[in-house]
Amino acid sequence: MWDLIIIGAGPAGITASVYAVRKRMNVLVITKDIGGQAAWSGDIENYTGYQFITGPELAIKFEEHMRKYNIQLKENEEVKEIIRKNNEIFVNTNRSAYQTKTAIIASGKRSKELSVPGEEEFKNRGLTYCATCDGPLFAEKDVAVIGGGNSALDATLQLINIARHIYLINVTAELGGDAVMKDKVTNNAKVSILNNTKVTAIIGDRMVTAIKIKKQNKEETLAVQGIFVEIGLIPNSEFTKELERNENGEIKVNSYNETNIAGIFAAGDVTNIPEKQIIIAAGEGAKAALSAFRYLATHK
């Protein structure tokens, strides 16, 4: 019987684990991977204490901090169900089953898919969802980045130093995201911005060779060797069937990170907090751990 099980090891989950173990709680972390979305990010210039650090570097710092405390960790394990029964919480995974007094869900989000012809066929064959992971594979090649928010802008900025040319394909009338990032993208000669443009298909042989687009009822085919999908994220909350979620699938929490089920807390991008930032996720993880500690102190 654990005092606390934390699901996820991104900024929220790792911070929660550090706070919890320092409160002398008996903690288990269950996660598919370590670092979460932070590990996918490019250059980070707004995480306090680091004027500049890359996403993978920051994720390594998080992991080093967590491992300093010898926190019990189950990696490459996926949670399938979390339920509360008879004042105990049961966490069932693809490998085992665990019991705990409290739980924090910090499972983050994953990339949305395009749902167009050719997407499934060319995954990892020229089509990817992570510029940080796969960008170096496309050196001096023509590529397309699909999306118009911060994720797409970040991917484009990373690829400017790698690819030959980048088509930034955005379905809305203008780019969103941070003004500084937009300025850097729009003022770079290696980037062609295609607003009001929809992707209709991915084309290739063994690997991606082109992308079909539609703009104002006019169809066009762009020759590209790489495609980066950056159209948003979906919360990893499917296993939380008993918890209250909003229309986007995000877990609803109050200011104490409490869900609608006693003893189960949630933190980070999987929740309905209004802003999705690394530093906010870390802060929410700290709050959730302190709330779990308070719950244990006030409940039998």
Catalytic site positions: 130, 133-134
In sequence order, what are the beta bridge partners of 221?
Answer: 212
Contact predicate 35/56, CB 8 Å: yes
Please give the Cα distance from 91 to 48 (Å, whole number). 34
Q: Which residue has tokens 């308070």?
A: 294
Please give the Cα distance from 45 to 195 (Å, whole number). 27
Residue 97 gets which letter from DSSP? E
Q: Which long-range contacts (CB under 8 A, 24 or more apart) does 222-225 make?
A: 222/142, 222/144, 222/167, 223/142, 224/141, 224/142, 224/143, 224/144, 224/167, 225/126, 225/138, 225/141, 225/142, 225/143
Burial 222-251 (b: 16+ CB within 10 A, else e): bebbbbbbbbebebbbebbeebebeeeebb
How many C-beta neighbours within 10 Å does residue 37 have?
23
Using N-to-C axis directions, what is the helix angle for 11-22 and 278-298, rounded to 10°?
A: 40
Please give the Cα distance from 159 to 136 (Å, whole number). 8
